Amino acid sequence: MRLIDFRKLLMVFALVLGMAVVSSPSADAKALSLVNNTGADIVVMNCSPSSSGSWYEDVLGNSTWPAGTTVTLDFDSWAMADTWDFKVHYANGASEDWYGVNVRTVNTIILKPNGVNEYL
């Protein structure tokens, strides 16, 4: 009769499970689509967790987000917060803010004129 070393079996199981978690995409990772239906080009977009108290740097970099187009933000699971704030700066110098958007329950934000957005 062969005896099983449960400690070794447990270590092998933990190693295999760890490799599976590292090699597979995280279920908590999130992609958020934002549609610019404002009628104006956006030159800066800042976002940050609502709890942050300050804006993160421009996620558009040196790019302009033209009216009528979509951008996608990818949230890593380790950086995921439930609610985020967004601020956009338009080419004409105006800006708008949106606070407390629950990115876990929203997949798409359609930005509309005068800050009246649609959350899908």
φ, ψ of residue 25 to 5 degrees: the values are: -65, 145
* 8 within domain boundaries: no
Tell me if 115 sits within 8 A of 98, measured CB to CB.
yes
100 in a domain, yes or no?
yes
With respect to residue 88, please indicate whether it lies within any of the assigned structural domains.
yes
- pTM value? 0.71
The pairs formed by 17-26 with CB atoms below 8 angstroms and a separation of 24 or more are: 26/76, 26/77
Task: Give a yes or no: residue 7 inside a domain.
Answer: no
Q: Tens digits of per-residue pLDDT, 36-46?
A: 999 999 999 99
Report d(CA 57, CA 105) in Å as an integer. Answer: 24
Query: Half-sphere exposure (CA, 13 Å, Cβ side) for 82?
Result: 0
- Within-domain flag for 68: yes
CATH code, 93: 2.60.40.2890
Which residues span the domain enclosing 44?
28-119
Report the domain count for the chain.
1
Task: For residue 21, tell me if it sits in a domain.
Answer: no
Q: Give the tens place of pLDDT for each residue, 82-112.
A: 888 999 999 999 999 989 988 888 899 999 9
